[in-house]
Amino acid sequence: MHTSFTTWVDIMEEEGEIFSNTKVDDNMPQDINFVNSKIPLPPRLDRISKLPWFECWLQKLRTEKKSEHTIRSYIVGVKTFSVTNLPNENGRKWEKMQTISVKNIHSFSDPNNGRIDAWLNSISKLRPSTINARIASISHLLKWLGYMIPDWIQRPSRSRSLPKTLGKNELKRVLLSTSQSEDCLASPIVTIMLDTGLRVSELCGLDIDDLDFEDLSALVIGGKGEKDRTVLFTNSTVNAINSWYPMRKSRLKRCKNELHNRALFLSSRGNRMNPRSVQKIIDKIAEAADIPKSKLSPHTLRHTFATGLLERGADLVTIQRLLGHASIATTRVYLEIGDQTLREIYHRAQKKITTSDLKNSEEIVKEIKNIEIKPTN
């Protein structure tokens, strides 16, 4: 059972061990212009008001089970915000700002003091997706500090790019290159990803105990959002894993970390495979298949799995569950791929028909011209 944030702080406080490695700076840097916020510190934060805000906020993110990727993104956002200067303020270092108290960061972050405006202006030239990620981090911080998100903070709209998928010919080349690869991990990894639609992090996290060959299923533990789910596979995956097992047994002898000895996929050094290593394998397959590396990634295989299900008549709810999407709105984007494919096929067909018709018309005209008209009696 996870300990709640307040309880966690209470326990640490009673033991006198709160952030023993972090020196709390309870004084706001003198050059910072701010007025005490009209909105008081929320009662839930009163007991930790003198603690370093960054450590407290970071613990809050972890108790909410935010992924490490999300946490890293949020840290970048609040870091850029905390070093944003208003007129007559000197530059300050992040190392200094992350040690000020919860009470002081509350006053510092007041949406009405103009700092958010200055910060938004400083990030305005970034890509829309990056700006949205930065705003998400500050929105979380403001909510934690008890502020309402101002209406004037608008996330830039961005044109949603459709997920990259492989065409039939590209898929054939990928499968051929995979089968001819000298890397013993190429075939099982590509086969499983196309068979299950797993995220690369989920693939790397698989243990041999997670696979049920009788049920043809695998348990994905701690997927995105720390949610467990079951994925299905076919005999193609069974055959690919069985062919991999002898090499896994050999690599297991080099494993020095007990945490890795149950991993399904091991590197040449006997360690659990990581997403970067998987991407390197995919890059080599892309090169052999004469496909741009930018178009082939583990996520491309996941998208190809999803669109394949859709084309074979699977409904969105089923695809959502197999992919592990929290919202069906995320899954719905594959309908747009289906529509796009439909339009491409239609226009290609129409183009062929038109060209064919033109050729036939030209031949008919020639035939008409060559007809010898005989005078009638």
Q: Where are the alpha helices (DSSP H) in 2-127?
A: 5-14, 53-63, 68-82, 94-97, 102-108, 115-122
The pTM of the full predicted model, rounded to 2 decimals, is 0.55
- Of 107, 102, 97, nearest to 75 (Cα)? 97
Q: Decide: helix, strand or coil at residue 21.
A: coil
HEC string of 240-275 equals HHHHHHHHHHHHHCCCCCHHHCCECCECCCCCECCH
CA terminus-to-terminus distance, the chain = 106
Residue located via tokens 């196309």: 194
Q: How far is CA 61 from CA 17, 25, 66, 70, 304, in A?
A: 20, 22, 6, 9, 33
Q: Among all residues, which ones are annotated catalytic?
A: 199, 224, 299, 302, 325, 334
The one-digit pLDDT tens for each residue of the chain (377 residues) are 343 443 444 433 333 344 444 455 555 554 454 555 678 889 999 999 999 999 999 999 999 988 888 999 999 999 999 998 887 777 778 998 989 999 999 988 988 888 888 898 889 888 888 999 999 999 999 999 999 888 877 777 655 566 678 888 899 999 999 999 999 999 999 999 999 999 998 999 999 999 999 999 998 876 565 678 889 999 999 999 999 999 999 999 888 877 788 899 999 989 999 999 999 999 999 999 999 988 899 999 998 988 888 888 888 888 888 888 877 777 777 666 555 555 554 555 555 544 444 455 555 455 545 544 444 44
CA 269 to CA 258: how far, in whole Å?
Answer: 14
Q: Decide: helix, strand or coil at residue 101.
A: strand
Q: Where are the domains of the chain?
A: 5-144, 168-334
- Say which CATH superfamily domain 168-334 falls into: Intergrase catalytic core (1.10.443.10)
CA 118 to CA 130: how far, in whole Å?
Answer: 17
